[in-house]
Amino acid sequence: MFRVLFVDDEPQILNGLRRMLSGSKERWQVLFAGSGSLALQMMEVSPVDVIVSDIRMPEMTGPQLLREVRRLYPATARVVLSGFADEAMIRDTIGVAHQFLSKPCDAGAIEQVVRALAAARVRFPVAELRRMAGDGTCIACAGTDRARLLEEVADPAATVRTIGAIVRGDLGMAARTLHLVNSAFFGISRCVGCPEHAVQLLGVERLRALATSATAFPGVRAGDDPGFREPAVALHAERVAALARAIVEAEGGSKAMVEQARLAAQLHDVGRLMLAAEFPARYRAVVDRSSAADREEVERGEFGASHAEVGAYLVSLWGLDGEIAGAIANHHRPATCAAGFSVLTALHAADALVGEASGDRHTALDREYLAAIGLGDRVAGWSALQAAGASVVAPPATVGAGDDPAREATRAAWPSDA
Amino acid sequence: MATDPSACADAPATRPPLRLLAVEDDEADYRLMIRGLARELDVRSERVDSEAALRAALAGAPWDAILCDYNLPGFGAAQALAAIRGAGADVAVIVVSGSIGEDRAVELIRAGANDVVSKANLARLPQAITHEMANAATRANHRAAKEALRAADDRLRLANAQLVAANRETEMLLSSLSAILIGIDAGGLIVRWNDAAAVAFGTPLAEAIGMRWDLAAVVAAPDRLACAIASARSTRAGVAVEDLRFRRADGSDGLLAVNVSPGHHADGRSADAVVILATDSTTRRLMEAQLAHGQKMESVGHLAAGVAHEINTPIQYVGDNLQFLQKSFAEIDGMLRAAPSPATPITAERLAYLLLEIPTAIGQSLEGVDHIAAIVRAMKDFSHPDSDAKQHTDLNRAIATTLAVSRNEYKYVADVVTDLDPQLPHVPCHPGIVNQALLNVIVNAAHAIADAGRGERRGRIAISTAVRDGMAEIRIADDGVGIREADKGRIFDPFFTTKAIGRGTGQGLYLAHAAIVAKHAGTIACESDRGVGTTFTIRLPLAPGDA
């Protein structure tokens, strides 16, 4: 049975949650602990799937508890529920908490969060990869990019623009930044799909504190293949995001949908990053023995899940909108959930068209799917958008791609389906 | 050189004997001549008969007159005259000669002789000597007078130059003074008006000098300044006027800080003039106001965050409970309306649960609402609007209020124990200011305990009130880190802080001190042992009847 554990030093809070969740139609087992040490004792008897903890508690604080939970039970989804607004303490939760809920929080919203986590868990049954995604350190950023970020924030003249240029150039950094603004860590919590916009929302001062805190942007671990973290990955994500946005706008989608499509596109390859970082040799072997057509099948055979499913699970852990997780999970095979024009349609088409143009054909355009939802005639127009937009999305100027032979070499190491 | 003009040559009786030097080769002639002179004058004389002897005699004592024979063996009167005048002495030289022509006599006079007397007419010699001596004296007087005049002139010149330099320096000082300097004479006319005054009021120096200062044209409250000027005149003491609103030359308004000082003469005698020194204090006043406001906003902002957290918790559980009650009611409503049948969704077990939980949910929700109400009341009490008049205030309640609003600051690190004297009389004070001071001390206590880093062992803040030595005393003691010996003398200094950036600005205790000491004539003292703890003792004067 799906188990949820609430931890708060205020018994009235636990009473309220217990009553509110009593009589729920969900078949969850709901547990309550008045302190961090009690929570750990309970988990020792039987681990839980979700832990929802207050931040400020006497003796063991929320961040201390969640850090311990991450170490002992990395697969457990970790959620913070706190009315506390001290930035330093909130920074402590970054990297150890997947989601941040602000007190007072609508009772229904808490139930909804747990429900979404339960659903993600059902969809993604691979325990090994759940541990990997839950641990979260696999979405580290490149050591060199982290060094550049540290150098930049140490400069008093740093601006959101100069920091944004570094963040958008590293997929791990971009992903973490989007994570922070799309969950309520700093009370921002809105759907933002553009890393530079996310940097702007966080602000220079906060990024300065985040960059130097080590937990927000962990550097790449020893033994990781740096080839997977090069600007080409980030650049691909950015191009797909630009085209997905253009496609949604062309199809008359709402502003919210535009932002969802950008966010899904920015994060659609996060699963590749994670698998490549966690299992460098195995993932390289998978790339070597698969082609664009059977890549997902080979990934499933090797790991039990494809990179698309791994990425979708991660964004579910972060509590991003279900549509975004769905689009990421199915961006190679949109036909499985054929409906009208959706975020998934935009992501799939953008990924395929950008791939075609750049010679990285790991997603083949599913024309049958597009025809089935009545959009078969749009491909030419979208291709034109791609051609028009390709020049707009240039690599971040400060990265200097192409002028450094070493970088070129590692760039070439990115597994290409071409 | 200077000869006393009163000691004239025509008063021989009072004079010492005349000293005569005779340049004469014939001893007999010399005797004859001196004998003749001695009949009329008191004479001491010497005779020389060679140039070398003459020079030696000239180098010796001064002579009143020299009598010089015309014909000398080896050298004549001309050489003798050259030797005498060459020695630089303005002494009467009379050539005594046989019969010489008019031409020769004129030549001798030109060569420096004062007179020529014929040996045939020696009777004229005393008169000639007296006369020439008087001439020499006159010449000497004249020279001395001229010399004195020149010296005086030099001194004057120097003094004048010094005066000009001093004046220039004063002018430069006055004009480079950023303060406004205005001098007003006994008649109320402007006699000093420096550049700063010209700039501030837009009136150039040339227009201002000699005018009566029109106070109403520049300051909003001319009476205050006029009173200050009058008071400085009558009491002979400086008078300060703060925050005098004035209109600048550009039309904008500003505040002046003015000092009116009575004028003094250089010798210390008082003068009826006054000197007005003023500075534009607008910026300083603004900054002071912003600083005070900033500190208040900072503590309010800090408190607001803490209070928000305090209120969040009850709102969270009250909301959850209400959600539960709503759901429960729907379930019970469904049960009551539906005809009893096996399809009824509510089980006996669920019903029992609801019947047990609903009353406690309501009770706990009411507790939560009470809790919120208490915090809101405390917040309202705490931020007592400032008023000019002191109010009789229950310090025990002020402490309870301050503890309620700052609970979030200490509840995770310390237990608070209070020992409040129920007999404590109400104290006349500004409650808002006293609350703020108490808050600053309590927050410091909580920080000191947190800094002690005792881990899971909680600290303790003990607060007591009592009447001691005729004053109301509040003691706030913590068992935190304590204050370093080196810092003890500085804790009440503005901007002194040992806290990390963002946690303290160094104004809390300074303002607490200002609030207690300056605003209430109370005292605030601190005892601290490093590693043991700190006790702040605040004393406020009681109302006269209670002391």
Q: Strand B270-280 relative to strand B471-478: parallel, antiparallel, unpaired?
A: unpaired
For residue A222, pLDDT over 70 is answered with no
Residue B368 in contact with partner chain A when CB distance is under 8 A:
yes
- Token duo for residue A119: 């659903």
Taking the C-alpha atoms of B370, B371, B373 and B378 in order, what is their torsion angle to the nearest 10 degrees? 140
B217, B179, B185: which is closest to B201 by C-alpha? B217
Residue B367 in contact with partner chain A when CB distance is under 8 A:
yes
The residue among A6, A17, A19 with the most chain B CBs within 10 A of its CB, best to mutate, is A19
Distance from CA of A68 to the nearest CA of B (A): 18
Confidence (pTM): 0.65
Q: Do B320 and A59 count as a contact with CB atoms less than 8 A apart?
A: no
For residue A299, pLDDT over 50 is answered with yes
Q: Which amino acid, B231?
A: S
For residue A229, pLDDT over 60 is answered with no
Q: Which of A98-102, A157-161, A174-178, A395-399 has the lowest mean pLDDT?
A: A395-399
Q: What is the pLDDT of residue B312?
A: 86
Flag whether the ipTM exceeds 0.90: no
Q: What is the pLDDT of residue A75?
A: 93
Q: What is the pLDDT of residue B361?
A: 94
The pLDDT > 70 percentage for chain B reads 90
Q: Do B317 and A12 count as a contact with CB atoms less than 8 A apart?
A: yes
Nearest residue, CB atoms, A19 vs list B314, B324, B331: B324
User: Which of the four pLDDT bands, split at 50, 70 and 90, describes residue A286?
Assistant: confident
Nearest residue, CB atoms, A12 vs list B308, B331, B368: B368
Q: What is the pLDDT of residue A412?
A: 35
Q: Do A58 and B412 count as a contact with CB atoms less than 8 A apart?
A: yes
Q: Which of A21-30, A392-401, B113-122, B299-308 has the lowest mean pLDDT?
A: A392-401
Residue A17 in contact with partner chain B when CB distance is under 8 A:
yes
Residues from chain A that touch B315, judged by Cβ atoms under 8 A, are 103-104
Q: What is the pLDDT of residues B177-229, one digit of tens each?
A: 888 888 888 888 888 888 888 888 888 888 888 888 777 777 878 888 888 88
Spatial strand order in the sheet of A77-82: A28-33, A2-7, A50-53, A77-82, A99-102
A39, A320, A289: which is closest to A179 by C-alpha? A320
Q: Do B357 and A19 count as a contact with CB atoms less than 8 A apart?
A: yes
For residue A406, pLDDT over 70 is answered with no
Distance from CA of A11 to the nearest CA of B (A): 9
Q: What is the pLDDT of residue B504?
A: 65
The pLDDT > 90 percentage for chain B reads 20
Question: Are A206 and A163 within 8 A, CB to CB?
Answer: no
DSSP per-residue codes, B140-177? HHHHHHHHHHHHHHHHHHHHHHHHHHHHHHHHHHHHH-
Q: What is the pLDDT of residues B24-71, one digit of tens each?
A: 888 888 888 888 888 888 888 888 888 888 888 888 878 888 888 877
Contact residues for A290 (Cβ-Cβ < 8 A; gap 6+): A297, A298, A299
DSSP per-residue codes, B326-384? HHHHHHHHHHHHSPS-TT-S--HHHHHHHHHHHHHHHHHHHHHHHHHHHHHHHHHHHTP
Using CA atoms, how far residue B426 sits from B6, B354, B464, B539, in Å, is 94, 50, 15, 13
User: Which of the four pLDDT bands, split at 50, 70 and 90, describes residue A415?
Assistant: very low
Q: Strand B92-97 relative to strand B115-118: parallel, antiparallel, unpaired?
A: parallel
Q: What is the pLDDT of residue B360?
A: 94
The residue among A12, A30, A52 with the most chain B CBs within 10 A of its CB, best to mutate, is A12
- Average pLDDT for residues B446-472, to the nearest whole number? 88
Residue B309 in contact with partner chain A when CB distance is under 8 A:
yes
Q: What is the pLDDT of residues A30-61, one digit of tens each?
A: 999 999 999 999 999 999 999 999 998 888 99
Which residue shows structure tokens 């040339």? B206
Residue A357: CB atoms within 10 A of its CB come to: 16
Q: Which A residues in the span 389-418 are in contact with B, Cβ-Cβ below 8 Å?
A: none
- Token duo for residue A339: 């409906």
Q: What is the pLDDT of residue A416?
A: 39
User: Which of the four pLDDT bands, split at 50, 70 and 90, describes residue B3?
Assistant: very low
- Average pLDDT for residues B390-411, to the nearest whole number? 89
User: Which of the four pLDDT bands, split at 50, 70 and 90, describes residue A338?
Assistant: low
- Token duo for residue B450: 């947190």
List where CATH 3.40.50.2300 sits in chain A.
2-123
Residues from chain A that touch B361, judged by Cβ atoms under 8 A, are 15-16, 19
Q: What is the pLDDT of residues B238-291, one digit of tens each?
A: 888 888 888 888 888 888 889 998 887 766 666 778 888 888 888 888 887 777
Strand intervals (E) in A35-112: 50-53, 77-82, 99-102
Q: What are phi and psi of B290, to 5 degrees?
A: -65, -40
> Highest mean pLDDT range out of A384-388, A398-402, B307-311?
A384-388
Among chain A residues, the shortest Cα distance to B364 is held by A12
Distance CA A286, CA A329 (A): 19
Distance from CA of B309 to the nearest CA of A (A): 5
Q: What is the pLDDT of residue B98?
A: 76
The residue among B309, B312, B316, B326 with the most chain A CBs within 10 A of its CB, best to mutate, is B316
CATH second-level architecture of A2-123? 3-Layer(aba) Sandwich (3.40)
User: Residue B532, Cα to own-chain centre: how many angstroms?
Assistant: 43
- Average pLDDT for residues A355-362, to the nearest whole number? 76
% helix, strand, coil for chain B, step of 5 = 50, 20, 30
Residues from chain B that touch A84, judged by Cβ atoms under 8 A, are 309
For residue A224, pLDDT over 80 is answered with no
For residue B104, pLDDT over 60 is answered with yes
Residue A10 in contact with partner chain B when CB distance is under 8 A:
yes
> Highest mean pLDDT range out of A195-209, B106-120, B499-513?
A195-209
Contact residues for A53 (Cβ-Cβ < 8 A; gap 6+): A6, A7, A8, A36, A39, A62, A65, A66, A78, A79, A80, A81
B22, B110, B107: which is closest to B64 by C-alpha? B22
> Highest mean pLDDT range out of A10-19, A230-239, B2-11?
A10-19
Distance CA A262, CA A243 (A): 9
Work out the end-to-end distance of chain A between its first and last CA atoms, rounded to an integer number of angstroms. Answer: 45
Q: Strand B92-97 relative to strand A2-7: parallel, antiparallel, unpaired?
A: unpaired
Give me chain A's average pLDDT, please: 84
For residue A348, pLDDT over 60 is answered with yes
State whether CATH 1.10.3210.10 applies to domain A230-408.
Answer: yes
For residue A407, pLDDT over 70 is answered with no
For residue B345, pLDDT over 80 is answered with no
Of B213 and B345, the structure prediction assigns the larger pLDDT to: B213
For residue A85, pLDDT over 70 is answered with no
Q: What is the pLDDT of residue B478?
A: 94
Q: What is the pLDDT of residue A292?
A: 72
Distance from CA of A105 to the nearest CA of B (A): 6
Q: What is the pLDDT of residue A68?
A: 95
User: Which of the four pLDDT bands, split at 50, 70 and 90, describes residue B235?
Assistant: confident
Alpha-helical (H) ranges within B455-518 are 508-513
Of A396 and B323, the structure prediction assigns the larger pLDDT to: B323
Question: Are B534 and B478 within 8 A, CB to CB?
Answer: yes
Among chain A residues, the shortest Cα distance to B345 is held by A23
Q: Which helix (H) or strand (E) holds B233?
A: helix B222-235
Of B511 and A110, the structure prediction assigns the larger pLDDT to: A110
List where CATH 1.10.3210.10 sits in chain A.
230-408
How buried is B33 (Cβ within 10 angstroms: 0-12 exposed, 13-18 middle, 19+ buried)? buried
